[in-house]
Structure 1
Amino acid sequence: MNLQVDIKIDVEDKMAMNLVDMKLWLRRAFEASDYKNDAEVSVRVVDEVEIRRLNREFRHQDKITNILSFPAGFIEGFPNNCMMHLGDIIICSEILFREAIEQNKLISEHWAHILVHGMLHLLGFNHTNDAEAVTMENLEIEILTGYGLKNPYEESL
């Protein structure tokens, strides 16, 4: 299984994570799933104005957020030898920087966590109830700690 990643940076602020590392974390989440087809995903890094606009337009929530995931949906009977578009991830770099500082986390680790989180949404994981949240969080922890990062749900000192 292969994952193709298209990243568009629509902000001028300094990125905490380079494109190679962004793709790496998306691939790690992809590989940890049971997904069998080749796939592609689009990622866009935006500012607070744009993430708020998108959140208002598509989720009817007039507020900023750190990430939005728009799964394309799975197609029953889709041929295994074809590449499927999993969906789009929109990340607000300004919010990630601020959250990392407020939560006393390394910015690069917070980026990794949010990328993994967004990718898992595209792969069908969710946190709409407690059981789903536990499953998704445990997989996030497994992926991140498996590569030497801290558990993102533990309090940082």
Structure 2
Amino acid sequence: MYKAIIGDKPFNIQLKEDEILINDKLFSWDISKVNEHSYHILKNDISYRIEVAEINYKTKEVILKINGHKYEVKVKDKLDLLLEKLGMDMSTAPNINEVKAPMPGLILQVNVSEGDEVKEGDALMILEAMKMENVLKAPGDGIIKAVNVNQGDGVEKNQVLVQF
């Protein structure tokens, strides 16, 4: 079972052995692959040209051009639907607005400053703890609001180091 959401309209998709059901109705369109990113569909004697303009595998979003008009499609698979049903989907996850020290230590290097734009996974700073260097990374995309420590500062566990 899958769910595709176009705009705010959901479509339930079921894949059976040799058929596809969309909202419990048999999908009986004639589809021909034109090239790697384009398809031709014939439905009720109406021709549609579909181009896959963009795919974001991380967010599970696809941008389609159908006869020149853009449509954004969000796709949810079985796991997404189960997590949503259990109230554990990522859309309800809180935003992380700060990075705290995971342990007491010494700030060896600060790689960001106020106003910097960072992407998820960017190295923010290096914390030395127990003779090991720990790279503290951005938990998500954002703009640095404040850097609360400097190189050479000692920090305590859970001390706020960076705010977004």
TM-score band, normalised by shorter chain: under 0.3
Structure with greater strand percent:
2
Q: TM-score, normalised by structure 2?
A: 0.20
Higher helix proportion? 1
Larger radius of gyration: 2
Higher relative contact order (CA 8 A, sep 6+): 1
